[in-house]
A and B are shown apart, each in its own frame.
Chain A
Amino acid sequence: MNALEVLLNTLTKLTEETRLSLANLADAAGDLTVPSVRLGVTGLARSGKTVFLTALVHNLVHGGRLPVFSAAAGHRMTSAKLQPQPDDTVPRFDYEAHVNALVTDRVWPESTRQVSELRLTIDYESASFLSRKLGPGRLHVDLIDYPGEWLLDLPLLNKTYAEFSAEAFRRARAGNRSEIAAAFLDTAAKTDPSDPENELAAQELAGRFKEYLAACRADTHALSMLPPGRFLMPGDLDGSPALTFAPLDIPADASAARTGTLRAMMERRYEAYKSHIVRPFFRNHFARLDRQIVLVDVLHALNAGPHAIADLEVALSEVLSAFRPGRRSWLSTILSRRIDRLLFAATKADHLHSSDHDKLEAILKRLVARAEERARFKGAEVDVLAMAAVRATREAMVKHRGEELPAILGTPLPGERLNGDCYDGNTEIAMFPGDLPEDPELIFRQDESKSEPVRPSFQSAQSELQFLRFRPPELDTTAEGMTLSLPHIRLDRALEFLIGDRLA
């Protein structure tokens, strides 16, 4: 890097920080009348962000069963309602459509394609005399939904094009990916970075790169560390030059590219991607969070095997390093917001029996160990739990051939298969998904001892763990024909940890 670049980088950082501080000042002024909490729901694609938000809002608005959430359980919460959101340029989170999909059609919401926002206002009476008399008795909770793929862009903010390229190639050549990446690697080998710039070559290489990323994400591999995120979920920028670049085979400390070469073009587009897409996304939605919940779909990765788990670990620690945990003080709330409570949640805990929840928690704890330690060191409170925002199954014991199996009852999604049996989406089954290991290290250790490149799909069907996806539950109705709120597992505990203290 030359001196000019260093100076430029410092300048961008400075302006970013100033902008953030100004925005925080504005927020702090607004909070003087009614305080607000910005709840960051973080999770890679398909980890259940939309379902979590829908269930959270639904349970609060409809007075669902939340015994551990003290404000609701203590009958101190008088109402929770949806309000116009603060940002006028961001689409509204389509809560009604999502609830309708879950409750009436019994399907999970489709994957999110764009950022959306929602403001939930909670009226409550504080339990302490002073704040009941002096406090506003009202709290805005700002919720944001976005495609989880985009989260993978955040680590790119601190990487140059050369670093990004080197890492992308290292990953593509790793044992577990080289087969999937073959086509992309071939094309890249034929491309010379110092050729004159050529739009068609760039398009072809970018196309191969996108195909390779998409293949990695398919169920059989379920890999997570696949930046840049917009390549998987382009949003409204599909086909624009900022999304038509690909890593080139250059070392991480390569000297600057000559102008007019293919590499210079790619580098320019990469920088444009960072400054016009990633940085605004980060600034608008993540830099000013108060509370954060990190949703992790551990079961999906377990289904696909140890490589998927290892990949998930890398992706999580890279993504989480972009956030700012820390202790809250009055000065810090005015100038720079810090995440003072961080919750790691293993989602879809209803897909296994509750006796295994502790083991699931242990696995998640091991997965996010680094991020957890960092947050604790910075003074934030951290908790780890296994939860299901919407509980799609019930629990049962199955006695069969002299064995007692802890099982779950539910209706698998159409097309799910187990032991060669394919389900049509209407059959209810009792399912034993296998035993999670007592020691979470076992899952990670296997990774090192194993050398097989890709697990053939038939083998994973025979493995000792298999989690099917279930349809949303059928809701009971009361005598008056009212639908009850969505059932859940530990959503109330998550809520208590995330916003309980602001309603105390």
Chain B
Amino acid sequence: MTNPESASGRKPTAFRLDDRNVRMTDDETSTPGAGEALITQAYLADEEPRLPRSVSTPKSGFRFGKWLMIGLGGLVSLAAGLAVDTLIRDLFTRTDWLGWTGVALAAIAALGLLGLVIREIAGLVRLNRIDHLRDKIQTAADEDDARQATAGLRELIALYRDRPETAQGRKALAGHMREVIDGRDLVKLAERDLLSPLDLEARRIVMNSAKRVSLVTAVSPRALVDLLAVLFENLRTIRRLSALYGGRPGTLGFLRLAKHVLTHLAVTGGMAAGDSLASQVLGQGLAARLSARLGEGVINGLLTARIGIAAIAVCRPAPFVSDNGPTVSDFMGELVSSAADEEKKKEE
């Protein structure tokens, strides 16, 4: 268009590939000489410079809880340090070698602490990365942005690089990314080719844990035992799911993850109540036909499945785009039938 307002200053140009001044290269960093044109054949569009991360990070308000934690934590550390210090001083006043032994032990403890802290931080970083990756892929799918989707899926492939069981999926996905495919479709393909085996495994984990919970509830003698078993089972499920999807959280990371799961449950609980109400009522109806104990077991199992679903949503590095992910009703049928089997066995 010859209109000045649309002029970008970039005129159409063409370079003959057999020209002496035209060079093909695979190295994107090399720079062309004077009057020379350098061509990099690209399968993918080059990335634009991105905005700094801080722009997209939600700003947290003033956190008094954090201050409290910092203050208390500092005090506790000081107290511990003081105690160790006085202990070592006391040891030195007795005999020198006892004192040195104390110092050596303190050093080992310090090293251990350092290692622990590093691992915790690494775990937290990994969880953070997964959270950001999920956001990125979600926006890419929402905006149908191929460029962003490609960038996100590259990170996803990198996340699973040292997982041999995903080799086939990674290869297929890398193949798709070389084609011209839209953002949303790419994310769907990633879901189908790379994540679906993991999703299947996650479903199995949640199913088994739900079954175990329902069984334990049915046979346990005391309510307290139930409670502990359910708590333990749920925490274990969250941990396994996180490891499955590449999170490998440390203790702190795990606590954070558990918090996320609870928040997710609280947020989606209201919405899920609507769509799963019918199935739950139905479930109770079925459960009522079982004996009271087994029925209770099924209900507990369903609750566990619910927590497992929330955990999947929190741990999975990509959102569910082509479908809504597993729902409670997916688990219910199998849970009820396994409980019924249990009852039959008992009767025999």
Q: Which residues of A contact B (CB under 8 A)?
A: 65, 67-68, 73, 305-306, 353-355, 357, 385, 391, 394-401, 403-407, 409, 418-419, 421, 427-435, 437, 442-443, 446, 449, 459, 462-466, 468, 489-490, 493
C-alpha gap A305/B1 in the complex (Å): 7
Known contacts A394-B41, A443-B1; A354/B14 CB under 8 A: no
Complex contacts, B15 vs chain A, CB 8 Å = 398, 400, 407, 429-431
Taking the complex as formed, is B37 at the interface, i.e. its CB lies under 8 A from any CB of chain A? yes
Q: Give the most central of A354, A442, A468, A493: most B CB within 10 Å.
A: A354
Residue among B14, B18, B176 making CB contact with A421, cutoff 8 Å: B14
- Of all chain A residues, the one with the shortest Cβ separation from B2 is A463
Q: Is the CB of B41 within 8 A of A465?
A: no
* Size of B's binding interface in residues, CB under 8 A: 42
Partner of A434, one of B3, B12, B41: B12
Q: Output the least CB separation between B133 and chain A (Å).
A: 22
B16 within 8 A of A: yes
B residues within 8 A CB of A437?
Answer: 1, 6
B40: Cβ under 8 A from any A Cβ: yes
Check A409/B1 contact, CB under 8 A, given A68-B185, A493-B182: no
Within 8 A of A (CB), among B160-182: 176, 179-182
**Is A493 touching B179 in the complex (CB atoms < 8 A)?**
no
Q: Is the CB of A466 within 8 A of B46?
A: no
Q: Which residues of A contact B87 (CB under 8 A)?
A: none
In the complex, the chain A residue whose C-beta lies closest to that of B18 is A427
Decide: B1 and A446 in contact? CB cutoff 8 A: yes
Number of A-B contacts (CB under 8 A): 139
Interface class of chain A by DSSP:
mixed
Given contact pairs A395-B42, A396-B39, A405 touches B180 in the complex (Cβ within 8 A): no
B37 A400 Cβ-Cβ under 8 A: yes
- The docked-state distance in angstroms from the alpha carbon of A459 to that of B13 is 15
The answer to whether A465 and B45 have CB atoms under 8 Å apart is no
A276–B254 CA distance with the chains assembled, in angstroms = 78
> Does chain A have a CB within 8 A of B147?
yes
Check if A466 sits within 8 Å of B12, measured CB to CB.
Answer: yes
Residues on A with C-beta less than 8 A from B14 are 418-419, 421, 429-432, 468
Contact B45 A67 (CB under 8 A): no
- Which residues of chain B from 126 to 166 have any CB-CB distance to chain A below 8 Å in the complex? 146-147
Contact between B12 and A464, CB atoms less than 8 A apart: yes
Nearest CB of chain A from residue B167's CB, rounded to whole Å: 18
Given A399-B39, A490-B180: 12 more A-B contacts, CB < 8 Å: A305-B1, A306-B1, A397-B28, A400-B32, A404-B46, A429-B14, A429-B15, A437-B6, A442-B5, A442-B6, A443-B1, A446-B3
Bound form: Cα–Cα A140–B6 in Å? 48
For A421, the chain B residues whose CB sits under 8 A away are: 14
Neighbouring B residues of A73 by C-beta, 8 Å: 192
